[in-house]
Amino acid sequence: MLLNMIKGSLLYLKSILINGETMHIPDGYLGPYTYLAMWIIMIPIWYYAGRKLSSDLKSRQVPLLALAAAFSFVIMMFNVPIPGGSTGHAVGAAIIGIVLGPWAAVIAISVALVLQALMFGDGGITAIAANCFNMAVVMPFVAYYAYKLISGGTKITSSRRVIAAAIAGYISLAVAAAFTGFQFGIQPMLHHTAEGVPLYMPYSLGVTLPAMVLEHVFGFSILEALITALIFAYIQRTDTTLLYREKTAAQRMKKKKASTA
């Protein structure tokens, strides 16, 4: 049983390397039960995220939203070669979620993913909602809360914050990959012929989940962690007021004085 699972994972990993597909799910990989469900889930998330922007973003951060979408779009176009003749890339969702907040990241990453699907065919049209859920919802929320948990109450300029950002970036992409592997792996159960032949993704959860997770844990998650840490360290040295729901020492002192007055 274990040997069959390992063999299947290797075959699936080989197939995605050959086809060049990792996190961007193309058309034909997910059946209608899955991609329609993801559209139903994502539409209210997009609506709520749009409403949250007006209350969550500072006036200085508003221009950064467009910049964040452009950053994610560009960084996903820089592919890193991996064994097997294929490529992969970072997403940038972790640092956007940490800097602008997870709800702003939902909009920024979604815009980048939609443009990539429509302009370059990077990700399927029917799978836009699934791709947005994995990369524009799962990644920034996991990254933001992992960063907050690890950084704790340390100073904004603390080196622990940079480490927290790096770990958050690493974990977020690995978790998003697991969600993608899960969506792939349930297809044979949901869509098959009367004889049991899969109509879409032919590999089961026991194959797709470890294949997607291992590929990212030992590869692209490291790249995401590096990019997240470098950008966070730069912001930390230049203007910490850009960080989502963070106050500088002066701001905290001013608030403390106002409360005791």
Task: For residue range 110-140, list pLDDT tens digits in order.
Answer: 999 999 999 988 889 999 999 999 999 999 9
Is residue 251 one of the residues assigned to a domain? Answer: no
Which of 142 and 59 is assigned the larger pLDDT? Answer: 142
Select the more confidently predicted residue: 240 or 234. 234
As given in the structure block, the two tokens for residue 221 are 């998650």
pLDDT at 3 over 90: no
Question: Per the structure, how many domains does the chain have?
Answer: 1
Closest CA to 163 of 146, 140, 138: 146
Calculate the average pLDDT of the chain: 83
166 assigned to some structural domain? yes
Residue 37, token pair as written in the block: 């469900």
pLDDT, tens digit (0-9, with 9 covering 90-100), for 145-164:
999 999 988 899 899 999 99
Residue 256 domain-assigned? no
Distance CA 3, CA 48 (A): 45
Q: For residue 155, list its beta bridge partners.
A: none
Q: What would the DSSP string read from start to end of 190-209?
A: HSB-TT--BSS----HHHHH
**146 - beta bridge partners?**
none
Identify whether 30 is part of a domain. Answer: yes
Is 136 domain-assigned? yes
Any domain includes 113 = yes
The pLDDT value given to residue 78: 75
pLDDT given for residue 97 in this prediction:
94
pTM: 0.84
Contact (CB, 8 A) for 117 and 76? no
What CATH code is carried by the domain that includes residue 206?
1.10.1760.20
pLDDT single digits (tens) 15-74: 544 344 467 899 999 999 999 999 999 999 999 999 888 777 766 667 888 889 998 988
- Evaluate whether residue 185 is within a structural domain: yes
229/249 Cα distance (integer angstroms): 22
On whether residue 210 sits in a domain, the answer given is: yes
> Whole domain around residue 174: which residue ranges?
11-244
